[in-house]
Structure 1
Amino acid sequence: MKKMLNALYITRQESYLHKDRETIVIKNGDEKLGQFPAINIGSITCFGQVSVSPFLMGYCAEKGIGLAFYTEYGRFLARVQGRQSGNVLLRRAQYRWADDPEKSVSIARLMVAAKLANSRAILQREIRNHGENPSLSNMVNRLGISLRRVRVAGSVPETMGIEGEAATGYFSVFNELLRADGFAFGGRVRRPPADPVNALLSFVYSLITQECLSALQGVGLDPYVGFLHQDRPGRPSLALDLLEEFRAPWADRFVLTLINRRQVSTRDFVTEASGAVRLTDEARKALLVAYQERKQAEVMHPY
């Protein structure tokens, strides 16, 4: 079984990371904030004005340690990538499958079916825990119909259409799942997020996308050539394909837990002049701690 490694999240501004033998050292000015054995680190995520020495960048690339940079507010900027791992024959097969409409839709159907089933399970869980809700029950039935439709979809565009319609319906009842005062959700708004719930969803989706991207590169697949999302320069289409299956059970469930357990409040968000809503520094740190704890939870697969 693969050992799950730790992740470092650097949120303190003007921090500097460098390599000392086989360890990673974090400093802020002359103050040493921490030193960690590199063998236990799987990824490093830097927010805002964080510097990394070239030697540490090269070391991370060589050892397969993910190194990603975000703005202080959580928007993804870039990541350091080393030599391509895996077998070129695997990637050539991936490209052939991506160019074959029948093979592409066979994979796209599975990804969307998993997303719909997971979204449906979130609503069913709410009904079990808090009693019958007509809006949620109706959406559970609609997602069940969409699930049957996607299994016989004949093309990727048709599959995407079913997925888009189902996602719109799912988010139309998402507000029914929120039980903390001050939080309201009127629909999915991405760029920029216009309310605290959208800000949380966007931030967590971004984190998981980078996890998917690193995982795909780790097995030698090209994360920029997908089957569901169309190719676009600079867009990690296959990572976004993989993200679809994790949106509801990992990201959405995590965000609902943070809100409904009062681990975040409306005071943890600020609104920019542009109207964009973002987490405060302290709230982002608390979210990353909770996110890492959630990743360490053990799940028993039904099979």
Structure 2
Amino acid sequence: MKKAYYLFNPGRMSRRDNTLKFEPVAKEGEPAPKPRYLPVNGVSALYIFGSVDANSELFNFLGRNHIPVHFFDYYKHYTGSFSPREHLLAGQMLVQQVGAYTSLKKRLHIARSIVDGATFNMLKNLRYYQNRDRDVLNQIEQLELLRQNITTVNSIDELMGVEGNSRQVYYSAFDEIIEGFAWEGRRKRPPQNELNALVSFGNSMCYSICLDAIYNSQLNPTVSFLHEPGTRRFSLALDMAEVFKPILVDRLIFRLCNRRELREQHFDFIDDACFLADSGRKVFVKAWEEKLQQSLHHRKLDRAVSYRHLVRLECYKLAKHIIGMEEVYEPFKIWW
């Protein structure tokens, strides 16, 4: 079974036959660590957090084996991806996807479904904690009212307004849900406290797995429906991430904070900005990967699927709707 690998240490990566060879940089005064070898047929994606040297031969090798690479900067912000040539892209799908984007009726249906799924999953999280003696009833009522507008708005801008207001209401409940850290509002450029740092980092990770899932479908990642397509970004991954951020990112943050798996020492403050320290990043990524590998019983398929595969199934579902195999697109909604 393939798995994602996360590289935190600086070093050099190269090809050796059909394996990836990673040579970590030795710390001053210490012997050089032993190289690590990764069989290429066991790698689904690479996440680069440290300073890693590589050459074009390696990226050609990764491209031929359909392995994407996601890069994060010194402050752990997502900066971009190496995406292999789209081996699954089909001309018919691209034409239909662009057609769905240019048709306001079709685009609004898909965009409304995405916001419906995202806000439903937010509401499910709030109700979970309301049932556990957290006072988030006001946010639940506000979110329920906002959700009523999803089917009545007639433009993407209005729909984005509903989504933005819904998320603002949802985030305002974090102070009640999370112990140990204060929320103090959403601040992302740069994040100014621990929770904002966690949300920014978690959202970047969610964006990257959605991009991986899109890459393994016939969808084009640059043609989106809720977010406006733009230059230098895969906006469809932003669309897909909206549905899964409450499920994957937020629930993980709640757990890590409330169980004190993340503490003050796991964060760094630099020039009025807060970022996950190396130790905190490793805690988050370990828990993130464990979450993606967990399985749940899928109601419609009547079998166990991992959370990572769940994201891919969502892309397949959207693709079927776009080419007319499914009349409506129904977003994934939490049932537990």
TM-score bin, normalised by smaller chain: over 0.9
CA deviation after TM superposition for structure 1 residue 77, in Å: 2.2
Quote the Cα distance in structure 2 between the aligned partners of 1:53 and 1:291. Answer: 29
Q: Which amino acid aligns with 2:58?
A: L
1:16 partnered with 2:42 = no
**Residues 68 and 79 in structure 1, CA contact (< 8 A), matched pair in contact too:** yes
Match of 1:285 in 2: 282
CA positional deviation for 1:25: 1.3
Tell me whether 1:300 sits opposite 2:297 in the alignment: yes
Q: Pick from 147, 172, 185: which aligns with 1:187?
A: 185
User: Aligned partners of 1:197, 1:229: CA distance in 2, in Å?
Assistant: 24
Instruction: Flag the 1:157–1:258 CA change in 2: closer, same or farther, 3 A.
Output: same
Q: Residues 123-202 of structure 1 correspond to what in structure 2 (within 5 A)?
A: 123-128=126-131, 130-131=132-133, 133=135, 136-180=136-180, 183-202=181-200
Residue 65 of structure 1 is matched in structure 2 by 67
Aligned positions of 1:213-292 closer than 5 A: 213-273=211-271, 275-292=272-289
Contact preservation (8 Å) 1:26, 1:32: no
Structure 1 residue 82 displacement after superposition:
2.2
Gaps of 5+ in 1: none
The offset of 1:235, in angstroms, is: 2.4
Task: After superposition, give the CA deviation of every residue in 1:68-120 in whole Å (9 maximum; x if it has no partner).
Answer: 22113211223212222220221121111111111100000000000100000
Secondary structure of 1:19's aligned partner: strand
> Are 1:122 and 2:125 matched, yes or no?
yes
Q: Distance in 2 between matches of 1:51 and 1:204?
A: 25
| C-alpha deviation, 1:152, in angstroms | 3.3
What is the letter of the counterpart of residue 20 of structure 2? I
Amino acid at match of 2:75: Y
Is contact 1:109-1:153 (8 Å) kept?
A: no
Distance 1:162 1:70 in 2: 30
RMSD of aligned C-alpha atoms?
1.5
The aligned counterpart of 2:100 is 97
8 Å CA contact retained: 1:102, 1:155:
no
Does the CA-based 8 Å contact 1:19-1:53 persist in structure 2?
no
Q: Retained in 2: the 8 A contact 1:7–1:42?
A: yes
Q: Distance in 2 between matches of 1:56 and 1:259?
A: 38
Q: Given the superposition, is the C-alpha separation of residues 72 and 132 from structure 1 closer, same or farther in structure 2, using an over 3 Å criterion?
A: closer
Change (3 A) 1:39 1:280: same
**Of residues 3, 6, 12 in structure 2, which corresponds to 1:6?**
3
| 1:132 to partner: Cα distance | 5.8
Amino acid corresponding to residue 173 of structure 1 in structure 2 = A
For the residue of structure 2 that corresponds to 1:32, the secondary structure is coil
1:88 corresponds to which residue?
A: 91
CA contact (8 A) 2:97 2:219 kept: yes
1:150 partner SS: coil
State TM-score, norm by structure 2. 0.83
Aligned residues: 293
Task: Give the partner amino acid of 1:83.
Answer: R
Cα displacement string for residues 114-144 of structure 1 (whole angstroms, at most 9, x for unaligned residues):
010000011100012x2262xx112212222
Q: Is contact 1:60-1:66 (8 Å) kept?
A: yes
Q: Is the 8 A contact 1:111 1:245 kept in 2?
A: yes
Structure 1 outlier segments of 4+, above 4 Å = none
Query: Identity of paired residues, percent?
Result: 27
- CA distance in 1 between partners of 2:164 and 2:67 (Å): 34
- Secondary structure of the residue that 1:300 maps to in structure 2? strand
Could you tell me whether the CA contact under 8 Å between 1:48 and 1:73 is conserved in 2? no
How far did 1:301 drift? 2.6
Once the two structures are TM-superposed, the CA of residue 255 in structure 1 deviates from its matched residue by 0.9
Partners of 2:262 and 2:118 in 1: how far apart?
26
- Quote the Cα distance in structure 1 between the aligned partners of 2:282 and 2:134: 36
Structure-2 separation of matches of 1:271 and 1:210: 25
1:18, 1:26 within 8 Å by CA — same for their partners in 2? yes
